[in-house]
Chain A
Amino acid sequence: MRTHAPDIFRISAVLSISALALTACGGDGGDNAANADEADGDGDTAAPEAAGELEVWVDADRADVLADAASDFEDDTGIAVNLVQQDFAEVRDQFVSQVPTGEGPDIAVGAHDWLGVLVTNGVVAPVELGDAAEDFEDVAIEAWTYDGQVYGVPYSIENIALLRNADLVDQAPDSFDEMIDLGEESGASYPFLVGLDAQTADPYHLYPFQMSFGAPVFGQNSDGSYDAEELTIGNEGGVEFAQWLSDQGEAGTLSTNIDGDLALENFVDGESPFLLTGPWNVPAAEEAGINVEVDGIPAAGDQEAQPFAGVQGFFLSAQSENTLAATTFLVDYVGSPEVQQSLYEVGGRAPALTESFESAMAEDDIVAGFGEVGAEAVPMPAIPEMGAVWDYWGASQAAIINGEGDPAGLWEQMSEDIAEATE
Chain B
Amino acid sequence: MAGETTSGRPKQRAAARRMTRRQKQASTLIDATSSGWKLMLFKIVVLGLLCATAVYAALVLFMNQRWLVGSLVIVGAAGLTWIYLKRGALPAKYLAPGLVFLLIFQIFVVLYSGYVAFTNYGTGHNSTKDHAIQAIMLQAQERVPDSPTYEVSVLEDSGELLSTDELYLAIVAGDGEVLIGSEDEPLEPSSAATVQDGRVVAAEGYDVLEFNELLNRQTEITDLSVAMSEDPNAGYLRTQDGRRAYVYTSRYIYDEMADTMTSSETGTVYSDTGEGAFVADDGEQLLPGWRINVGLDNFVNAVTEDSIRGPLIYVTLWTFAFAFLSVATTFALGLFLAVVFNDKRMTSRKYYRLVMILPYAFPGFLSALVWAGMMNQEFGFLNNVLFGGASIPWLTDPWLAKVSILIVNLWLGFPYMFLVCTGALQSIPEELTEAAQVDGAKAFQAFRSIKLPLLLTALAPLLISSFAFNFNNFNLVYMLTGGGPRDVSAGVSVGSTDILISMVYKVAFVGAQADYGLASAFSILIFIIVGTISVLAFRKTKALEELN
Interfacial residues, chain A to chain B (CB-CB below 8 A): 1-2, 4-5, 8-9, 11-20, 23, 37, 40-41, 43, 45, 48-49, 51-52, 77-79, 96-97, 99-100, 117, 119-123, 125-128, 130-131, 147-149, 198-200, 255-259, 261-262, 318-319, 321-325, 327-328, 331-332, 384-385, 387-388, 391-392, 395-396, 398-399, 402, 404-405, 409-410, 413-414, 416-417, 421
Contact = CB atoms under 8 A, between A and B. Distances in A.
Given A120-B288, A387-B511, A388-B511, A324 B128 contact: no
Given A43-B210, A127-B240, A385-B512, 18 more contacts: A15-B49, A20-B56, A20-B59, A41-B216, A77-B211, A96-B514, A100-B128, A119-B139, A122-B288, A123-B127, A123-B135, A125-B139, A128-B240, A128-B246, A328-B243, A387-B513, A388-B493, A405-B488
B212 interface: yes
Contact of B376 (A4, A49, A198): A198
Given A15-B49, A19-B52, A122 B135 contact: yes
B135 to A, nearest CB: 3
B396 A387 contact: no
A126 B141 contact: yes
A255 B377 CA distance: 11
Contacts of A421: 511-512
Contact of A413 (B43, B81, B481, B488): B488
Most buried by A among B131, B377, B506: B131
Contacts of B128: 100
Nearest to A325: B215
Nearest to B516: A97
Nearest to A387: B510
A261 B51 contact: no
Interface stretch (B218-226, B316-324, B329-337): B218-226
A117 B125 CA distance: 11
Nearest to B287: A120
B131 A257 contact: no
B499 to A, nearest CB: 16
A204 B284 CA distance: 32
B399 to A, nearest CB: 15
B536 interface: no
Nearest to B127: A100
Given A52-B215, A324-B214, A396-B488, A12 B47 contact: yes
Contact of B124 (A121, A131, A257): A121
B288 A49 contact: no
B396 A199 contact: yes
A52 B214 CA distance: 12
20 contacts: A1-B35, A1-B87, A12-B44, A15-B48, A20-B56, A48-B212, A96-B126, A198-B395, A256-B396, A318-B134, A319-B131, A323-B240, A331-B241, A384-B124, A384-B512, A388-B510, A395-B488, A399-B488, A402-B396, A409-B489
Interface string B47-82: 111011101100100000000000000000000010
B378 A255 contact: yes
B373 interface: yes
A149 B240 CA distance: 14
Nearest to B211: A77
Contacts of A43: 210, 213
Contacts of B510: 387-388, 391
B484 interface: yes
Contacts of B240: 127-128, 323-324, 327
Given A51-B212, A324-B222, A387 B509 contact: yes
Interface of B: 31, 34-35, 40, 43-45, 47-49, 51-53, 55-56, 59, 81, 85, 87, 123-124, 126-128, 131-132, 134-136, 138-139, 141-143, 149, 210-216, 218-219, 221-222, 240-244, 246, 287-288, 373, 376-379, 395-396, 481-482, 484-486, 488-489, 491, 493, 495, 506, 509-514
B446 to A, nearest CB: 48
Nearest to A262: B379
Most buried by B among A99, A255, A322, A327: A327
A395 to B, nearest CB: 5
Contact of B55 (A19, A51, A127, A404): A19
Contacts of B373: 259, 261
A317 B46 CA distance: 44
B266 to A, nearest CB: 15
B461 to A, nearest CB: 35
B56 A318 contact: no
DSSP class of A's interface residues: helix, strand, loop or mixed? helix
B93 to A, nearest CB: 13
Given A324-B221, A388-B511, A414 B59 contact: no
Nearest to A265: B379
Contacts of B218: 52, 321-325
Given A51-B212, A395-B488, A18 B288 contact: no
A416 B212 contact: no
B71 to A, nearest CB: 17
Contacts of A318: 131, 134-135, 138
B186 to A, nearest CB: 21
A402 B35 CA distance: 76
Contacts of B31: 1
Nearest to A318: B135
A79 B216 CA distance: 11
A14 B376 CA distance: 69
Contacts of A37: 216
Given A11-B44, A78-B212, A122 B242 contact: no
B142 A385 contact: no
A122 B136 contact: yes
Nearest to B54: A16
Contacts of B485: 199
B246 A257 contact: no
**Sorted from nearest, which 8 A-B pairs have the closest CB atoms?**
A122-B135, A19-B52, A122-B288, A15-B48, A100-B127, A199-B484, A257-B378, A16-B52
Contact of A327 (B219, B241, B287, B377): B241
A11 B287 CA distance: 57
A410 B215 contact: no
A147 B376 CA distance: 43
